[in-house]
Amino acid sequence: MTKGEATSIPANSKGLKGGVVGLLSSIVIGTASTAPAYSLAATLGLIVAHRGALLCGVKAPAIVLLSFIPMYLIAVAYQELNKAEPDCGTTFTWASRAFGPITGWLGGWGIIAADVIVMANLAQIAGTYSFTFVADLGWHSAASLASSTVWTTLTGVIWIAAMTYICYRGIEVSARLQYVLLSVEVVVLAAISAIALIKVYTNSAPPGSLRPSLSWLWPGGLDFGTSIAPALLITIFIYWGFDSAVACNEESDDPGRTPGRAAVLSTFLLLATYALVTVSTIAFAGIGVEGSGLGNPDNSDDVFAAFGSALFGDGVLGKIGLLLLSASILTSASASTQTTIMPTARTTLSMAVFKALPGSFAKMHPRYLTPTVSTITMGAASILFYVLFTVISSSLLSALIGSVGLVIAFYYGLTGYACVRYYRKTLTNSLRDFMMRGVLPLLGGVLLTIVFIFGLIEYARADWLVDQGRNVTIFGFGAVAVVGVGSMVLGAVLMLAWWAISPSFFHGRRCRVRAPKRCRNRP
């Protein structure tokens, strides 16, 4: 097989259960991985304001639209690379082919690092909303537990363990559960948007509400370095996850086509959802720094909870509305917890098959056909870092979104560059190849690189993250930047250690993905 040639590989090349994920299931997995309800609840306040001062304000919808551009461009890169090599290692495999083993290994580590870091934030939301949901059901004393670090951490750990077990049981069980979880949150988000806009246009919204304007969709007046770049790293996070559909490519009914199509379609579905919810939420709650306004620092961790009562009102219908809101955030966080474990386990599986990680990570369950050691290790590592980040600072948990944004920008950007390099000999075959395999992926990689640099500069400021009047720093730099960059440095250290232990991947010849079990070296 030569670069630029489309090919298919046996669905069971690594022992995964092939042919069980269709286009609809792939779209559901790719969309659910982004956790739309959770992502908006956790990030919208951070985009609007930072430390009580407006960051993007009413221009937040413009940032959501801007961040879609590089995400779509990278989704195209995923689609094109997947046509040539539908390997569950995705960026790891493709970057190894394009740039060599070191770059490929770091690309694979980027996937692992981003997923492990975000699991801490997901688990915190799942733990908190478990008690909020129970309180809305009628057990009011559970509301106090939602603010307890110990109880929410313990519950978050239980959620990680539960979703790890579901992933362990197989892709079919995971996909069926995602249908239910995603349906709940999409319906609730649509209802929230409709109710919010109706109240705004009927003048029944609370003080501080705003009438939507087309100017909200254009970032004019915002400074790129201090406002747009850090905000883009946050909004990139809300689109992140569409590649989960591609990571399950070897279990797809058409490995070379279905996952790539699902990735692109997922980004468009997310754009429509995020644009609608962002505009309606800002219109209803406003951007003020007091009360339920999205500029209030107390609301940054969860914007929906801040104005839920005002949106749904009192009485039975209001209680039902709050219950559904809590259910949507809970199901969203739990769904994303599950779909975060799945692609990471498959990345480490692929890396192990190609000898880039210990062979134990390639072990498969004989009945469920899932990567057992990879899945369990992902769950255990997530629990470890979740507890560690909780001990460092509770504020760090919500700010980890920025850290994840840095890592996402790294490995998504790398995927864009890998696509251009991978197809470099065939780019001029047609105008379609030149654009879809060259121009668009390259532009996506460049945009993410620029955003990474400017965002890192802001996140590294000592006063970027403050907890109870104290700057949260590590080695004198902003903790958000240190966690993001530090995770990649940790990866480099682990890579060198594995290189010393087992150098075959780093010194071996290229091999065909058609027979990875026989491959003794790198992809």
Encode the chain (523 residues) as per-residue pLDDT tens digits.
333 333 333 334 666 666 667 788 788 877 877 878 878 887 888 888 876 666 888 899 999 999 999 999 999 999 999 998 888 889 999 999 999 999 999 999 999 998 888 888 778 888 888 888 788 777 777 778 877 888 888 998 998 888 888 878 766 655 666 677 777 788 888 888 999 999 999 998 888 889 999 999 999 888 888 888 888 888 888 888 888 888 777 777 787 888 888 888 988 999 999 999 999 999 998 887 776 667 777 766 677 777 777 787 777 777 787 787 777 777 777 777 766 787 888 899 999 999 999 999 888 878 877 888 888 998 898 899 888 888 876 666 666 778 888 999 999 999 999 999 999 999 999 999 999 999 999 999 999 999 899 889 988 988 777 666 676 788 888 888 998 999 999 999 999 999 999 998 998 644 433 333 433 333 4
312/172 Cα distance (integer angstroms): 36
- Residue 430: inside a domain, yes or no? no
The CA-based angle 34-35-38, given to 5 degrees, is 130
Torsions phi, psi of 55, nearest 5?
A: -95, -60
- Residue 221: inside a domain, yes or no? yes
Tell me the C-alpha to C-alpha distance, in Å, between residue 203 and each of 197, 198, 200, 206, 478. 10, 8, 5, 8, 43
- Residue 411: inside a domain, yes or no? no
Collapsing DSSP states into helix, strand and coil, what is residue 375? helix
What are 364's strand-pairing partners?
371
Query: Can you give the pLDDT at residue 420?
Result: 96
- Residue 435: inside a domain, yes or no? no
Q: Are 288 and 204 in contact (CB under 8 A)?
A: no
Q: Are 354 and 89 in contact (CB under 8 A)?
A: yes
Torsions phi, psi of 270, nearest 5?
A: -70, -40
Q: Are 504 and 123 in contact (CB under 8 A)?
A: no
302/332 Cα distance (integer angstroms): 13
Q: Are 86 and 250 in contact (CB under 8 A)?
A: yes
Collapsing DSSP states into helix, strand and coil, what is residue 153? helix
Cα dihedral sign, 226-399-446-61: negative
Q: Which of 249, 345, 350 is nearest to 26 (CA)?
A: 249
Q: Which of 174, 187, 186, 183 is nearest to 244 (CA)?
A: 174
Helix and strand counts by DSSP (H, E) for the chain:
19, 6
CATH number, position 328: 1.20.1740.10
Helices in 423-519 by DSSP H: which ranges?
A: 431-434, 440-459, 479-501, 504-507
What single-letter amino acid sits at 133? F
CB-based burial label for 12 (10 Å; 0-12, 13-18, 19+): middle
- Residue 269: inside a domain, yes or no? yes
- Residue 110: inside a domain, yes or no? yes
Query: Can you give the pLDDT at residue 209?
Result: 87
Q: What is the pTM of this model?
A: 0.84
CB-based burial label for 396 (10 Å; 0-12, 13-18, 19+): buried
- Residue 332: inside a domain, yes or no? yes
> Which residue's structure tokens are 């908006």?
40
What are 471's strand-pairing partners?
466
Into how many domains does the chain fold?
A: 1
Name the residue range of residue 237's domain: 23-401
- Residue 511: inside a domain, yes or no? no
For residue 470, give the H/E element and its range.
strand 470-471
470/465 Cα distance (integer angstroms): 8
Collapsing DSSP states into helix, strand and coil, what is residue 53? strand
CB-based burial label for 99 (10 Å; 0-12, 13-18, 19+): middle
- Residue count (the chain): 523
